[in-house]
Structure 1
Amino acid sequence: MSQPINRVFELLDTSIAKYNKPDVFASKIKGEWHRLTANDFLQAINQLSLGLLSIGIEKDDKIAVISESRPEWNIVDFAIQQVGAIGVPLYPNITVDDYSYIFNDASIKLVFVGDADLLKKAQEAAKEAPSVQEIYCFDKIVGNNYWKEILEKANSKDGEKLESIKQGIRTDDLLTIIYTSGTTGNPKGVMLSHRNLISNFESCRDNFPIDETCRALSFLPLNHVYERMVLYLYMSKGMSIYYAQNMATIADDLRDVQPHIFTTVPRLLEKVYDKIVAKGYELSGLKRRIFLWALDLGLKYDPNQEFGAWYSFQLKWARKLVFSKWQEALGGNIRMICSGAAALQPRLARVFWAAGIPVSEGYGMTETSPVIATNRVMPLDLRIGTVGPIIDGTTVKIAEDGEILVKGPNVMLGYYNKPELTKEVIDHDGWLHTGDIGKLEEGKYLKITDRKKEIFKTSGGKYVAPQVLENKMKESVYIEQMMVVGESQKFPAALIIPEFVSLREWCKSQGIAYTSDAEMIKNQQVLKLIFGEIARFNKEFASYEQVKKFTLLSNPWTVEGGEITPTLKPKRKAIMAKYKDVIDRMYE
C-alpha cells in the first residue's frame, strides 16, 4: 500500500521516485519506443515548474493543455500543480469556437498544444481571447514557441520559492477545471480539488489487480477525467504507462506493449468483437463450426455462475482452440479491461469473460472525479448488466423519481463561474443530482436505466426510456449507432447507422452485390434484415415502447459533425435538428 498523500503532486516523491522505473512513460516516435526514466521525468517537471515561475506564472493562474496523450502532457500537468496554477485540459477534437469560449470563461493565461494542427486552432481561438499571453507547442515548429524554451528559463535560485508554494497548497485547493463536452449548450467547467482526485483513485486502487511489475496501455484522451484519474492510480502502484500512437494503431501497440490493463469505451470493445466475429464467419468447414461453437458457449457465460462439469470441459477447449487467439490479440497478459463512459452490452462482457479476459464496467461522471461505482475483478464482486457496487467512501441513494444522488469526497467543488448552476445539481444537503435514472439490484449493484432528461412521453401519455431501447438493440452486430425518438408522437421510431463491416459480410454470404453504403441502406433485403433485428429485440419491451419505424443513415455520427460529444454520447437535440425532415417523414 502506497503512502497516503494530500496533494496529487506528492505522487512524485511517494511513487515515481520510490519505484524509480526505467519506463515511467513511453511513446512511439517514428517506429521506435522512447522510454522516459523516473529521474528524467522528475527533473523535467521540476525544471518546468521553475521555468513557469520565471515567466510570471502565479498561484491560481489558468493554463490550458490541448494535446493527444504523450509524456509531455504529464510533465506539464505536474509542473502546473507544483506552482499552484490551475490546469485546464481540453479535447483536441473540439471546435475553435469551443476553445475561444473556454479561453475566455477560464481567463486562460498560457496554452500548451501538441502539434501544428492544434497550434493553428489555438492561435485562431486566442484572437478572441485577450487573456492568452503565449502558446507553446510540444512539437518543434519554426517560428513558434517551443515548450522546452520555458525549461531553459528555469532559475535554480527560485528553488526555495517553489518549495514554499508547494507547502502552501492545501488538499481542498482547486487542482483542475475540466470542461464537460455537454450534449446541449456551452461546456461547463467542473472544478476538482486535489482531495477529489486523490479520494477517487485511493478508493478504486485495491480493485485493480496490478502492481509495480505491470504495464498499462493508454489511448483514451488525458483531458478525460477517468483516464487522468486512472493514470494517477497507475503511478501510485509504480506501473509503467505506454501511450498508443492513435486509435488506428491499437492492435499493433497491444502486441508491442503486451499490457496487463487498459481502459476503454464500449465502442472499442464492440469493434474488436465485430472484427473477430467477421473473421470467424469467413472461415469454412470444421474451423467455422468450432468458432461458432466457442462463440455460442461464450455468449452464455457468467463469471458468477457454475455451469457444471460438461460446460466447463467445453469452455476449457474453447479457450484453447479459439479464445487463446483473442488473448494473444490483446497482448497475452491482460488482467483487466476497464470499460466506462457508456453502457457495455452484456453479451460483450459475457464473451470476453468466457475468453479469459476480465472486463470491469464502471460508472461515474466528471462531477464525481469520476468513479461512483465499479465491478470488481479480484476478488470477484460483480453482476453483468450493472456497473457494480458503490466505491468506498461514497454514498448513493435513489430519489423517489429514480434519480441517482451521490455524496462523498469525490464530489466536485462546483461549476466554474456558475454558482446558480452548481446549486441546481448539488442540493442544500450536499447530494449531487446525477441526472441518471437507476436502481440498486440485490441492494448493492447499481444499474443505470436512463438519463432523466432523455425520457420522453408519447402522445398516449406513456413514458419511454430511449437509452434502454438503444442499448438493447445495439446488441445486434448489424447496428452501430442508434437514436430513438418519439416525444409527443404515437410511437417510438429510430434513426439507425448500420455496422457496415458486418453488413458487407452478410451481403457477401447472401450473394448480394455490395455497391456503396449509401446505396445499400436502400436495399430491400438489407431493410428486411434490420427490420428483423428490431422485431427480435422489440419482443422484450411493452407495446408502447416498441420501435415501430426506422430510417437507415449512411454517414456515422461524429464529434466533428456535431452529432456526438467527445465521449461518444449522442447530442440528441443536434441530431433531431439535423434530421428533422427524416424524422417527420416517419410520422407522416
Structure 2
Amino acid sequence: MTLKTPLEMLYHWESKEPSTVYLKQPVLGEVKEFTWKEVGEQVRKIASNLIAMELPKSSHIGLLSKNCAEWFITDLAIMMAGHVSVPIYSTAGEKTIRYVLEHAKCPVIFVGKLDDTANQVAAIGNDIVKLAFPYPDIPADKQWHELLEVAPCTENPIPDLDSVMTIIYTSGSTGNPKGVVHNYRSICWAAHASLKELGVNFKDRVMSYLPLAHITERVLIEIASFYSGKRVSFIESLDTFSRDICATQPTLFISVPRLWTRFQMGVLANMPQKKLNFLLSIPIVKNVVKKKIQQKLGLSEARLCASGSAPIPASTLEWFRTIGVNISEGWGMTENSAYGTCCVPFRADKIGCIGKAYEGVDIRIAEDGEIQVKGPCNMKEYYLEPEKTAEVLTKDGYLKTGDKGSIDNEGFIKITGRLKEIFKTSKGKYIAPVPIESKLMANSIIEQVCVTGSHLKQPIGLVVLSADALKKPFEEIEHSLLVTLEEVNSSLESHAILDRLIILKDEWTVENDLLTPTLKIKRHTLESKYEDLISGDFKGKIAKQ
C-alpha cells in the first residue's frame, strides 16, 4: 500500500468530485454545505495567510474550538503551509490553555466556537496571533472573512510521511497534559487502515461531535474522511444534538459510555423499563417499537455503532441490544492513534471484550498483566519529555498502555482495570475499581459511579443518580440501590465487598473539573474533593451527601 497524506487526498477529491458535498455545518438552524471544491478553495486561502506570516517551517499552530467545518479546513491549511497542528479541547480552562500554548510554543492560534469565549481567549498570551472562525463574539487579530480575502495558495505541497503532523495533548486526568507527537505516517496509517477494518466507504455519513482535540474523532472521523470521501455533518450545539443527528442519519456512529448512558436514560424517561419489556415481548409489536426508538435516537440507518474512550458496562450493551442497536467496543490511546482493537463485526458472546487487535497491530500481555501494543500507528514521542517517553516504550518497541487485561483463545481482549487506578485498602488488599463500577452501572438509576477507598477497611461507591431517578421517593431509590449493592457484593471476593454507597448531590462534569474532556472520571480530583465524605462515619448501607 502506498500511503498518501491528507493533502494528496484533498487534491484527489478537488479534481474528481469538486461538486460533491463533503461537509454540512448547521448555523442558526440553516445548514451550510461545503463541496470539495469549496473546501479546497478555503484551505488554500487560509494556508496563504499562514505562509505570508513567514513563520519558521514546522511551527506549532494552535486550534481551540468546538467541532465545525472550519476546524477541518484549518487543519488541512496548517498542513499545506508546512506547519504542525496543536489542538486544544474546547472545554479547556485557562490553566490548561496557557500550559499547552506555552509548552508547545505556539506563535499562532485559531479560535472558534467556545462556551466561555472571553475567559478562554484571555488565557492566550498577547504575543500569540489570534485568528477567528466565523462565529460571533470571538476577539481576534483577524476574522475569518478577512482570511478569505487573500489569493489562494496555488501550489500542491506533499509533506514527508515521517515529518511531524500534529501534537495531541492528553486530557490530563492525572496531572499536566502530555504532548503526544505523531508524524503523518502513524496517524494516516491508522486512518487509512480503518476503512477496511470498519468497512467505511464513499457512501457513509458520519456526525462529528466528539472533541476533535481527541485522537479518536481526529483519526476515525476527520482523517478517515479524507481517504473515504464520506460526508461529515456537525452539530450546531448540544441543545440541537437530537435535531442534528436525526437530520444526519449517520451510517457510522461512534460515541462514549457517558453519552450511550444518556441515550438510554432518555428512552427510559419516555418509556419505563417494565412497559418496554412488555412491548418487546410481543412478536408483532417488538420490531415496530425497536424501529421507533432507533428513529428517535437518529440511529435507524446506522450499520455500525461503536463505543470507546472508557469502559462501558456490559449491562448497557445488553440493553441496547434489546432495542436492536448493537454497539461494538473499541480501544485505543492517544499514543497509538486510537487504533488498537475493535469488536467488529459485533458478537453478542463477546460483550465485555474490547475486541481483537486490528490487522497490523501486535498486542501482548506483560508479566504484570499490562496490555502492551506495537504497530505503525504508535507515536513518535512525548514532546520535550524524553524521560516519560522512555518510561512508556519498551526496548523492543511496545507501548505500555497502563491497562491491565487478558486475551482469550480467539484473541479477544478484556480490560480488567487501569494499573494506576488499582488502590490498596487499609487491610493491604488491592482493589481494581473499574469491574466493580461496571456491575453497579447495571442499575439504570445510577448515572455515574466511582469506587474508591484507599486507607479504608473496605471500598465504597460514590454514585450520582439520573435525573429521572431524582424524581422518585428516597425510599424507592434506597431499596433499588440496596438490591444492587447486595447483588454486586455477592459476586466479589471478601476484601472487595463494598461497605456502602454514597449518593452525591451534584453530577460530575467537565466544567466542575471532575471529568476529562473525553468524559472520563478524574479519580484523584474526585477523591480529593470528597475526602471528608469518603472517610466519614455512616450508619446505613445507603447514605446521602
Q: Per-residue deviation at 1:218?
A: 1.9
**Pick from 426, 433, 443: which aligns with 1:466?**
433
Instruction: Report the Cα distance in structure 2 between the residues aligned to 1:140 and 1:585, rounded to whole angstroms.
Output: 48
Matched, 1:152 2:143: no
**Pick from 335, 342, 345: which aligns with 2:303?**
335
In the superposition, relative to structure 1, how do residues 318 and 355 fare at CA in structure 2: closer, same or farther (>3 Å)? farther
Q: Which residue of 1 aligns with 2:403?
A: 436
After superposition, the C-alpha distances for 1:283-335 in whole angstroms (9 at most, x for unaligned) are xxxxx65x31355x7xxxxxxxxxxxxxxxx7x64542321112212332111
User: Identity over aligned residues, as a percent?
Assistant: 30
Q: Which residue of 2 aligns with 1:104?
A: 102
Q: Per-residue deviation at 1:564?
A: 1.4
Q: Which residue of 2 aligns with 1:423?
A: 390
Q: Which residue of 1 aligns with 2:530?
A: 579
Q: Per-residue deviation at 1:271?
A: 1.4
Assess if the C-alpha contact under 8 Å between 2:365 and 2:406 holds in 1.
yes
Matched, 1:222 2:223: no
Deviates more, 1:251-260 or 1:400-409: 251-260
Report the secondary structure of 1:267's partner residue: helix
Instruction: Report the Cα distance in structure 1 between the residues aligned to 2:522 and 2:537, rounded to whole angstroms.
Output: 20
Q: Which residue of 2 aligns with 1:516?
A: none
Assess if the C-alpha contact under 8 Å between 2:453 and 2:534 holds in 1.
no
Instruction: Report the Cα distance in structure 2 between the residues aligned to 1:226 and 1:382, rounded to whole angstroms.
Output: 25
Instruction: Report the Cα distance in structure 2 between the residues aligned to 1:141 and 1:183, rounded to whole angstroms.
Output: 31
Provide TM-score, normalisation by structure 1. 0.86
**Pick from 269, 277, 280: which aligns with 1:292?**
277
Q: Per-residue deviation at 1:175?
A: 0.5
AA aligned to 1:490 is K
Matched, 1:449 2:400: no
Normalized per residue, which structure has more helix? Answer: 1
Q: Which residue of 2 aligns with 1:563?
A: 514
AA aligned to 1:172 is D
Q: Per-residue deviation at 1:16?
A: 5.6
**Pick from 404, 407, 427: which aligns with 2:371?**
404
Report the secondary structure of 1:567's partner residue: coil
Instruction: Report the Cα distance in structure 2 between the residues aligned to 1:382 and 1:60, rounded to whole angstroms.
Output: 48
Report the secondary structure of 2:439's partner residue: helix
Deviates more, 1:493-502 or 1:351-360: 351-360
AA aligned to 1:566 is P
Instruction: Report the Cα distance in structure 1 between the residues aligned to 2:40 and 2:5, rounded to whole angstroms.
Output: 16
What pairs up with 1:68-217 in 2 under 5 angstroms?
Answer: 68-115=66-113, 119-127=117-125, 130=127, 132-139=128-135, 141=137, 144=140, 145-154=142-151, 159=154, 162-163=155-156, 166-167=157-158, 169-217=159-207
Q: Per-residue deviation at 1:526?
A: 2.9
Matched, 1:251 2:236: no
Provide TM-score, normalisation by structure 2. 0.92
Aligned length: 536
Assess if the C-alpha contact under 8 Å between 1:280 and 1:292 holds in 2.
no
Report the secondary structure of 1:229's partner residue: helix
Q: Per-residue deviation at 1:565?
A: 0.8
Q: Which residue of 2 aligns with 1:487?
A: 454
Q: Which residue of 1 aligns with 2:501?
A: 550
Q: Which residue of 2 aligns with 1:393?
A: 360
Instruction: Report the Cα distance in structure 2 between the residues aligned to 1:338 and 1:105, rounded to whole angstroms.
Output: 34
AA aligned to 1:108 is C
Instruction: Report the Cα distance in structure 2 between the residues aligned to 1:350 and 1:531, rounded to whole angstroms.
Output: 22
What pairs up with 1:235-246 in 2 under 5 angstroms?
Answer: 235-246=226-237
Q: Per-residue deviation at 1:525?
A: 4.6
AA aligned to 1:236 is Y
Assess if the C-alpha contact under 8 Å between 1:116 and 1:139 holds in 2.
no
Instruction: Report the Cα distance in structure 2 between the residues aligned to 1:125 and 1:238, rounded to whole angstroms.
Output: 37
Q: Which residue of 1 aligns with 2:350?
A: 383
Q: Which runs of 5+ in 2 are unaligned?
A: 540-545
Q: Per-residue deviation at 1:126?
A: 2.4
Assess if the C-alpha contact under 8 Å between 2:89 and 2:211 holds in 1.
yes
Instruction: Report the Cα distance in structure 1 between the residues aligned to 2:309 and 2:12, rounded to whole angstroms.
Output: 30
**Pick from 482, 487, 491: which aligns with 1:536?**
487
In the superposition, relative to structure 1, how do residues 381 and 14 fare at CA in structure 2: closer, same or farther (>3 Å)? farther
Matched, 1:344 2:329: no
Assess if the C-alpha contact under 8 Å between 2:307 and 2:329 holds in 1.
yes
Q: Which runs of 5+ in 1 are unaligned?
A: 283-287, 298-313, 513-522
After superposition, the C-alpha distances for 1:201-250 in whole angstroms (9 at most, x for unaligned) are 22221232443223212211111111111122233222111112223322
Q: Per-residue deviation at 1:119?
A: 4.7
Report the secondary structure of 2:526's partner residue: helix
Q: Which residue of 2 aligns with 1:62?
A: 60
AA aligned to 1:88 is V
Q: Per-residue deviation at 1:100?
A: 0.7
Assess if the C-alpha contact under 8 Å between 1:375 and 1:381 holds in 2.
no
* Bigger Rg, which one: 1
AA aligned to 1:110 is V
In the superposition, relative to structure 1, how do residues 318 and 540 fare at CA in structure 2: closer, same or farther (>3 Å)? farther
